[in-house]
Structure 1
Amino acid sequence: METTNNSTSSSTDLSNHEKPAKTENQSTTLNTQEIQEKLTDLKTTTQGLNQSEVVSRLTQYGPNAIEAHEESKWKKLLGYFWGPIPWMIEAAAIISLFRQDWPDFIVITVLLLYNAIVGFWQDNKAANALAALKQGLAAKAHVLRDGKWDAIDATQLVPGDIVTVSGGEILPADLLLLDGQYLSVDQAALTGESLPVSRSIGDTVYSGSIARQGSMTGVVTATGNNTFFGHTAKLVASAGSKSHAEEAVLKIGDFLILLAVTLAVILIGVQVYRDIVAVGHWEWSEAGQIAQFVLVLLVASVPVAMPAVMSVTKALGALTLSKQKAIVSRLSAIEELAGVDVLCSDKTGTLTLNQLTLQTPITFNNTSTDDIILAACLACQKNSTDALDLAVLTAMKDPKILDQYQSIDFVPFDPVNKKTIGHVKDAQGKSVQFSKGAPQAIGQLCGIGEQAGSDQTSQQYYGQVNELARRGTRALGVARSNDEGKTWTLLGILPLLDPPRPDAKDTIAKAKELGLSVKMVTGDDVAIGSEISRQLGLGQNLLSASEIFKNDKDPNHIHTDTARAVENADGFGRVFPEHKYEIVKALQQQGHIVAMTGDGVNDAPALKQADCGVAVSGATDAARSAAAIVLTAPGLSTIISAITEARKIFERITSYVYYRVAMTIAIMCVVVLSYIIFDLQPLTAIMIVVLALLDDIPIMTIAYDNVKVSSQPVRWNMHRIISFSSVMGIIALAQSFGMVLLCKYWMNNPELMSSLPMTIDHLQTMVFLQLAAGGQLLIFIVRNRGAIFARPYPHPKLLLAILVTQIIAILLCVFGIFVPALPIEMIGVVWIYVIIWLLIASLAKMAYYKYMDRQEINTKSN
Structure 2
Amino acid sequence: MSKQEKTDLEKDDIQDVVKKLKVDPQKGLTSQEAQARLQKYGPNAITAKQEPMWLKFLKDFTGPIAYMIEAAAIISAIIGHWDDFFIIIVLLLFNACIEFWQSRKASNALAALKKGLAPTATVLRDGKFETIDASKLVPGDIVKIRLGQIVPADLRFVSGDYASIDQAALTGESLPVTKKVGDEAYSGSIVKKGEMTGVVIATGSNTFFGKTAKLVALAGGKSHAQEAMFKIGNFLIIVAVVLAVIMVAFRVYNDLVAHTFGINTALNILQFVLVLLVASIPVAMPTVFSITLALGALNLSKKKAIVSRLASIEEMAGVDILCSDKTGTLTKNQLTLGDTTLINAKDAQDVIKIGALASRKEDNDPIDNAVIKALKDQSVLADWTMEKFIPFDPVSKRIEAHLINKNTKEELWAIKGAPQVVAKLSSDPDVQKKVLDTTDALAKRGYRALGVAESKDQGKTWTILGVLSMFDPPRDDSKKTIDDCKREGISVKMITGDDTAIAIETAKKLGMGTNIYNATKVFPKNLDPDHVPADLEKLIAQADGFARVFPEHKYAIVKTLQKQGHIVAMTGDGVNDAPALKQADCGTAVAGATDAARSAAALILTSPGLSVIQTAITEARKIFARITSYTIYRVALTMNIMFLVVLSSILLNFQPLTAIMIVVMSLLDDLPIMTIAYDNTYVSKKPIRWQMKKILTTSSILGVFAVIQSMLLLFIGYMSVKNPGSISIFQVGNLSQLQTIMFLQLVAGGHLLLFVTRQTRWFFERPFPAPILFWAIVITQVFAACACYFGWFVPRISLWMICEMWIYNIAWMFILNIIRMIIEKVQK
Bucket of the pairwise TM-score, normalised by the shorter protein: over 0.9
- What does residue 243 of structure 2 align with? 263
CA contact (8 A) 1:526 1:544 kept: yes
Shift of 1:280: 5.2
Q: Structure 2: how far apart are the matches of 1:193 and 1:445? A: 30
Aligned equivalent of 1:223: 203
SS in structure 2 opposite 1:285? helix
State the match for 1:11 in structure 2.
none
CA deviations over 1:215-237 (Å, ceiling 9, x no partner): 11111111111111111111111
Amino acid at match of 1:54: A
Query: Counterpart in 1 of 2:767?
Result: 792
Are 1:325 and 1:633, in contact at CA under 8 Å, matched by a contact in 2?
yes
Change (3 A) 1:448 1:767: farther
The amino acid of 1:512's aligned partner reads K
Change in Cα spacing, 1:24 to 1:487, as seen in structure 2 (3 Å) is farther
Residue matched to 2:679: 705
Stretch of structure 1 that moved more, 490-499 or 542-551: 542-551
CA distance in 2 between partners of 1:647 and 1:402 (Å) = 55
CA contact (8 A) 2:329 2:573 kept: no
1:643 aligned onto 2:617 = yes
Q: Structure 2: which amino acid aligns with 1:177?
A: F
Aligned residue number for residue 408 of structure 1: 387
Measure, in 1, the Cα distance between the counterparts of 2:811 and 2:546.
59
Tell me if the contact between 1:28 and 1:203 (Cα under 8 Å) persists in the aligned partners.
Answer: no
Residue 179 (structure 1) aligned with residue 153 (structure 2): no
Q: How does 1:732-771 map to 2 (within 5 A)?
A: 732-747=706-721, 748-750=723-725, 752=727, 756=731, 758-771=733-746
Q: Which amino acid aligns with 2:816?
A: A
Matched, 1:556 2:530: yes
Do 2:79 and 2:271's aligned partners in 1 also have CA atoms closer than 8 Å? no
Q: Return the letter of the residue paired with 1:696.
A: D
Confirm or deny that 1:141 pairs with 2:121.
Answer: yes
Residues 1:512 and 1:608: Cα distance change in structure 2 (over 3 Å)? same
Q: Is 2:155–2:184's contact at 8 Å kept on the other side of the alignment?
A: yes
Give the alignment partner of residue 339 of structure 2, picking from 356, 360, 369: 360
Please tell me whether the aligned partners of residues 607 and 626 of structure 1 are also in contact (alpha carbons under 8 angstroms): yes
TM-superposed CA distance for 1:550, in Å, is 1.2
Quote the Cα distance in structure 2 between the aligned partners of 1:406 and 1:272: 105
Report matched runs for 1:40-51 at 5 Å.
40-46=19-25, 47-51=27-31
Q: 1:386 aligns with which of 332, 349, 365?
A: 365
Partner of 1:332: 311
Residue type of the partner of 1:199?
Answer: K
Matches for 1:159-174 after TM superposition, within 5 Å: 159-174=139-154
CA drift at 1:296: 1.0
- d(CA) in 1 for partners of 2:441, 2:86: 73
Partner amino acid for 1:782? Answer: T
Matched, 1:477 2:451: yes
8 A Cα contact 1:342 1:592, kept in partner: yes
**Residue 566 (structure 2) pairs with residue 586 (structure 1):** no
1:81 to 38, 61, 74: 61
Structure-2 separation of matches of 1:757 and 1:588: 58
User: Does the residue aligned with 1:207 lie in a helix, a strand or coil?
Assistant: coil
| Equivalent residue letter for 1:838 | M
**1:313, CA displacement in angstroms?**
0.6
Give the aligned partner of residue 435 of structure 2.
461
Residue aligning to 2:629 = 655
- Aligned twin of 1:12: none
2:177 to 173, 187, 197: 197
Counterpart in 2 of 1:692? 666
Q: Which residue of 2 aligns with 1:827?
A: 802
Find the counterpart in structure 2 of residue 374 from structure 1.
353
1:6-17 map, 5 Å:
none
Gaps of 5+ in 2: none
TM-score normalised to structure 1 length? 0.93
Q: 1:431 to 1:330 in 2, by over 3 A?
A: same
* Map of 1:3 onto structure 2: none
The one-character-per-residue Cα deviations of 1:727-767 (angstroms, maximum 9, x if unpaired) are 11111111111111121232325255799552111211111
Tell me the residue number matched to 1:18.
none
Q: Are 1:575 and 2:549 an aligned pair?
A: yes
The secondary structure found in structure 2 opposite 1:225 is helix
Aligned partner of 2:34 among 35, 54, 58:
54
Structure 2: which amino acid aligns with 1:231? Answer: K
Q: State the distance in 1 between where 2:330 and 2:259 align.
A: 80
Q: Which amino acid aligns with 2:385?
A: Q
Amino acid at match of 1:326: A
Structure 1 residue matching 2:452: 3-state secondary structure: strand
Q: 1:243 aligns with which of 213, 220, 223?
A: 223
Instruction: After TM superposition, give the deviation of residue 54 of structure 1 in Å.
Output: 1.4
Deviates more, 1:175-184 or 1:838-847: 175-184
One-letter amino acid of the counterpart of residue 41, structure 1: K
* Residues 227-306 of structure 1 aligned to structure 2 (within 5 Å): 227-276=207-256, 278-279=257-258, 282-306=261-285
| TM-score where L is the length of structure 2 | 0.97
Pairing partner for 1:627 from 594, 597, 601 = 601
Deviates most, 541-550 or 692-701 = 541-550
> CA offsets per residue over residues 524-583 of structure 1, 9 Å max, x none?
011000000011011100011122221663111112221221111111100111111111
2:98 paired with 1:118: yes
Distance 2:827 2:468 in 1: 60
CA contact (8 A) 1:130 1:236 kept: yes
- Return closer, same or farther for 1:476/1:752 CA change in 2, 3 Å cut-off: same
Distance 1:294 1:199 in 2: 74
- % same residue: 55
Partner of 1:487: 461
**Superposition map of 1:490-501 within 5 A:** 490-501=464-475
| Equivalence for 2:296 | 317
Listed one character per residue, the Cα deviations across residues 622-660 of structure 1 (whole Å, up to 9, x for unaligned) are 111111111100110001101110110111011111111
The answer as to whether partners of 1:552 and 1:559 remain within 8 angstroms in 2 is no
**Is 1:511 aligned to 2:485, yes or no?**
yes
Q: What amino acid sits opposite 1:807 in the alignment?
A: V
Closer/same/farther in 2, CA of residues 799 and 448 from structure 1, 3 Å limit: farther
The one-character-per-residue Cα deviations of 1:568-607 (angstroms, maximum 9, x if unpaired) are 1111100111111111111111111111111111111111
Q: Is the 8 A contact 2:292 2:676 kept in 1?
A: yes
- Provide the C-alpha distance between the structure 2 equivalents of 1:571 and 1:664, rounded to a whole number of angstroms: 47
Aligned to 2:590: 616
Distance (Å, rounded) in 1 between the aligned partners of 2:53 and 2:686? 38
Structure 1 moving runs of 4+ over 4 Å:
23-31, 751-757
- Please give the secondary structure, in 2, of the residue aligned with 1:221: strand
Q: How many residues are treated as equivalent by the alignment?
A: 822
Checking the alignment, whether the CA contact within 8 Å between 1:240 and 1:610 is kept in structure 2 is yes
Alpha-carbon distance in 1 for matches of 2:200, 2:279? 65
Post-superposition offset of 1:27: 7.6
Question: What SS class does the counterpart of residue 360 from structure 1 fall into?
Answer: strand
Structure 1 pair 110/320, CA: closer, same or farther in 2 (3 Å)?
same
Maintained 8 Å contact 1:26/1:204: no
Q: CA RMSD in A?
A: 1.7
Q: Do the aligned partners of residues 740 and 830 (structure 1) sit closer, same or farther apart at CA in structure 2, a change above 3 Å counting? A: same
CA distance in 1, matches of 2:455, 2:22: 51
Is this contact kept in 1: 2:317–2:617, CA < 8 A? yes
Secondary structure in 2 aligned to 1:750?
coil
Q: Answer yes or no: is the 8 Å Cα contact 2:449–2:469 preserved in 1.
A: yes
Task: Write the distance in 1 (CA, Å) between the matches of 2:281 and 2:454.
Answer: 83
Alignment partners' CA distance in 2, 1:588 and 1:547: 23
- 8 Å CA contact 2:333–2:472 kept in 1: the answer is yes
Query: Alpha-carbon deviations, 1:82-122, whole Å to 9, x = none?
Result: 11111111122223333443443222212111111111111
1:425 and 2:399 correspond: no
Q: 1:840 maps to which residue?
A: 815
Distance in 1, matches of 2:728 and 2:101, equals 59
Report the counterpart of residue 343 of structure 1 in structure 2.
322
Tell me the distance in 2 between the aligned counterparts of 1:690 and 1:425: 90
**Alignment check: 8 A CA contact 1:48 1:146 kept:** yes
Cα distance in 2 for partners of 1:430, 1:672 equals 103
The residue aligned with 2:747 is 772
